[in-house]
A and B are shown apart, each in its own frame.
Chain A
Amino acid sequence: MRDNYGIAFLLLIILTVVFLGMNLCIGSVNIPLSEVLLALGNRKGAGISRDIILGIRFPRALAAVVLGGALALSGYLLQTFFHNPIAGPFILGISSGAKLAVALVMVLSLKMMLRPGSGTMIAAAFAGAMLSMGVVLLMSRVMDRMSMLVVSGVMIGYICSAVTDFIVAFADDADIVNLHNWSKGSFSGIGWEDVAVMSAVALTASVFVFLLSKQIGAYELGEAYARSLGLDVMRFRVLLVLLSSILSACVTAFAGPVSFVGVAVPHLVRSFFRTARPMILIPACFLGGAAFALFSDLLARTLLAPTELSISTVTAVFGAPVVIFILVRRRKGRTG
């Protein structure tokens, strides 16, 4: 695939578009593609299916695209930061920290009869993500073994989830259902306004990530070499932490914690493109994350319809084996 990046990108784009189309067509009511296109073209005559598509399915699918991409990129940045292929926002407990902060803000504002805006939610998620990130960073200074770091990340995740459950238990009955769904991870109930906000945040952050391509490439050879090339390592590391936290916070604020996308997608993309070049990997991760999220959401909605699975259930089924595979392969590489 090397040097054929164009073809690889084309395949990835086709995949994303196909999944997007399937997400629009398939559901409790199956809508033929022609009608979907008609609705998207804003023509009259589509009726109820137009409402379903424009009001529910399309924003939800777009959210999957943006959030899936953001999550994959966030994972990619964390892997770069820790020089560790299984680092990711969920595994390191960063998503759970964000979840905790969001749940706290939600419950508090509901108690005060306020409806928090999406900006507030992102801010809360960001604060929670940074807090978890801070703890992970502190621990990473003591633990040089990557497996230990991951284990402590998972523990942080459990602690945050436990506290979140505790908080959710205090919420009013009527809100619980909603909050409960969200705290397990779901793309449901996302409207156009949310899509606008998340796109603004996630896409801006992604552009910044892309602008860091050259620096990320230099960092690939380790801190000491990066510094010897003239990279301001301190500043670069701060940027990595901020951007990955913003990206995963954005996801958590709207969809709750979504597992394994951040680890699995960058790995799959690396194997597919067979390169380490950030210029290639960054857009490829975003697209890959989008396709993976669309695919997972499709399954989450349709497998046990009319009951919806949480998105993390699906992503874990496909993502966790990838993590295991990475671990096994690395172990082999070390001894063999």
Chain B
Amino acid sequence: MNAVREEFYFYTKGLTVGYQGIALIRDIEIHLRRGEVLTFIGPNGAGKTTVLRNIIRQLKPLDGVIVLDGKEIRQQSGRELAASLSVMLTERIRPERMTCREVVESGRYPYTGRFGKLSEQDHQVVEDAMRLVHAEDLASLDFDRISDGQRQRVMLARALSQEPELIVLDEPTSFLDIRHKLEFLSVLERLARERKLSVILSLHELDLAERISDKIACIHGDRVERFGTPEEIFSCGYIRRLYEIEVGNYDERTGTVELPAPEGRPQVFVLAGNGSGIPVYRRLQRQGVPFATGILWENDQDYPVARMLAAEVVGERAFGRIRKESTERAKELIDGCREVICALRPTGEMELYPEFGELLEYAKDKISG
């Protein structure tokens, strides 16, 4: 216990959260060092927000403790906690006639006096926070007149102007397009690295969670089913189980998702490799045509997508030779198909490996396009 206290800036022990005395998630044990990013993932309605609301003391835990910098948060005064922890929530605020700067300035609340007048230093912190999220230009605009992406940035600046050591964000990327998601998370990452800011957030985007997080906590059923590094979480089909994915597929190594593969005997054979197959596979999937493909090395970019979408993949071990059996199997499949698509470019692989030429020759009557 002592070791934990010294090592971790933030941790929970036996934390149980829920509503009206009914436990929703039990025995949460998570911990975080300064400058680390912890992400909660889990299906919709799993209770990510509930856990976060307990961490920021907006809900009272049913049991257990939450410790921030060696002190239980329940024993801190509102102002004390506000000076080390700031938040960004999902609820959309609609203040009337407040400029973005005024919204950001509200983060200085714990530091100002009776009437909330900002000192020179307070103004400096506000300016810095806005610059950090690239929101300087928004300063004098009305908060209810800007876009969702801009709003998220201003709210982040607001949280930062509170000068927290830990920032808690509930699904901060939900309203953002892909460009703003990347920008937003890169700001967080930089703050964690450069200012040793600890970050706890919840995310829907698994690929982003995997990339930004030092630790990931997976909420499933009534507990944090797994807690660990992204490498530990994104392996062995765990994500599929966590989200109970029954339709379609998720590849943990690349973070790609695919819609369900067409069912039935392969009707088309795709000669592919080196990424040339992916668009063809997806087109066939959309058309609902079951297909087989090959010959793919396991380290080919086409391989994970082929595994998810093709009825059969003729595969070879990474960097291995093409075995005779593979060529034979490919020919058998070609025999069963009404059509063969060659996605391979005429140079490169085809010249290096005579097997490709052999298959092409074998299938020449069925090749289309």
Contacts and interface: CB of A to CB of B under 8 A. Distances in A.
Contacts, number: 73
A230 B97 contact: no
Contacts of B162: 229
Contact of A276 (B79, B102, B112): B102
B91 A224 contact: yes
Interface stretch (A11-19, A86-94, A213-221): A213-221
Contacts of B87: 224-225, 228
Nearest to A267: B96
B116 A276 contact: no
Contact of A279 (B83, B85, B110, B115): B115
A227 B114 CA distance: 17
A231 interface: yes
B93 A228 contact: no
A222 B89 CA distance: 11
A277 B102 contact: yes
A69 interface: no
Given A220-B95, A224-B89, A276-B96, A229 B116 contact: no
A42 interface: no
A232 interface: yes
Given A213-B116, A214-B116, A217-B116, A230 B110 contact: yes
B368 interface: no
A220 B80 CA distance: 21
A228 B102 contact: no
A210 to B, nearest CB: 9
Interface string A225-246: 1011111100000000000000
Nearest to A213: B115
B83, B85, B96 interface centre (most CB from chain A within 10 Å): B96
A273 B112 CA distance: 24
Interface in A229-275: 229-232, 270, 274-275
Contact of A229 (B77, B91, B107, B144): B107
Contact of B78 (A225, A227, A333): A227
A220 B97 CA distance: 11
Contacts of A221: 93, 95, 103, 106
Interface in B68-107: 77-83, 85-87, 89, 91, 93, 95-98, 102-103, 106-107
Contact of A275 (B89, B97, B107): B97
Contact of B115 (A214, A228, A275): A214
Nearest to A218: B109
A230 B89 contact: no
Contact of B106 (A217, A232, A274, A333): A217
A276 B86 contact: no
A185 B4 CA distance: 68
A232 B78 CA distance: 7
Query: Size band of the A side of the interface?
Result: 20 to 34
A220 B243 CA distance: 38
A220 B99 CA distance: 12
A231 B78 CA distance: 7
Contacts of A275: 97
A319 interface: no
B287 interface: no
Contacts of A276: 95-98, 102
Contacts of A229: 78, 82, 106-107, 109-110, 162
**Residue among B78, B80, B162 with the most chain A CB within 10 A?**
B78
Contacts of B103: 221
Contacts of B116: 213-214, 217-218, 279
Interface string B27-57: 0000000000000000000000000000011
A221 to B, nearest CB: 5
Contacts of A333: 144
Interface in B101-136: 102-103, 106-107, 109-110, 112, 114-116
Given A214-B114, A276-B98, A225 B89 contact: yes
A228 B82 contact: yes
B238 to A, nearest CB: 33
Contacts of B112: 214
In this complex, the member of B109, B110, B112, B162 whose beta carbon has the largest number of chain A beta carbons within 10 angstroms is B109
Contacts of A230: 77-83, 109-110
Nearest to A216: B116
A198 B108 CA distance: 37
A221 B93 CA distance: 6
A224 B58 contact: yes
Contacts of A217: 106, 109, 116
A229 B97 CA distance: 21
A220 B105 CA distance: 12
A270 B142 CA distance: 14
Contact of B98 (A213, A220, A231, A232): A220
Interface of A: 85, 211, 213-214, 217-218, 220-222, 224-225, 227-232, 270, 274-277, 279, 333
21 contacts: A211-B114, A214-B114, A214-B116, A217-B116, A220-B98, A220-B106, A221-B93, A221-B95, A222-B93, A224-B58, A224-B89, A225-B89, A227-B57, A227-B58, A228-B58, A228-B85, A229-B82, A232-B78, A270-B97, A276-B102, A333-B144
- Listed from nearest, the 3 A-B pairs whose CB atoms lie closest are A214-B116, A230-B78, A230-B82
Given A213-B116, A229-B162, A230-B79, 13 more contacts: A214-B109, A214-B116, A217-B116, A218-B116, A220-B98, A224-B58, A224-B87, A227-B78, A229-B109, A230-B110, A274-B97, A276-B98, A279-B116
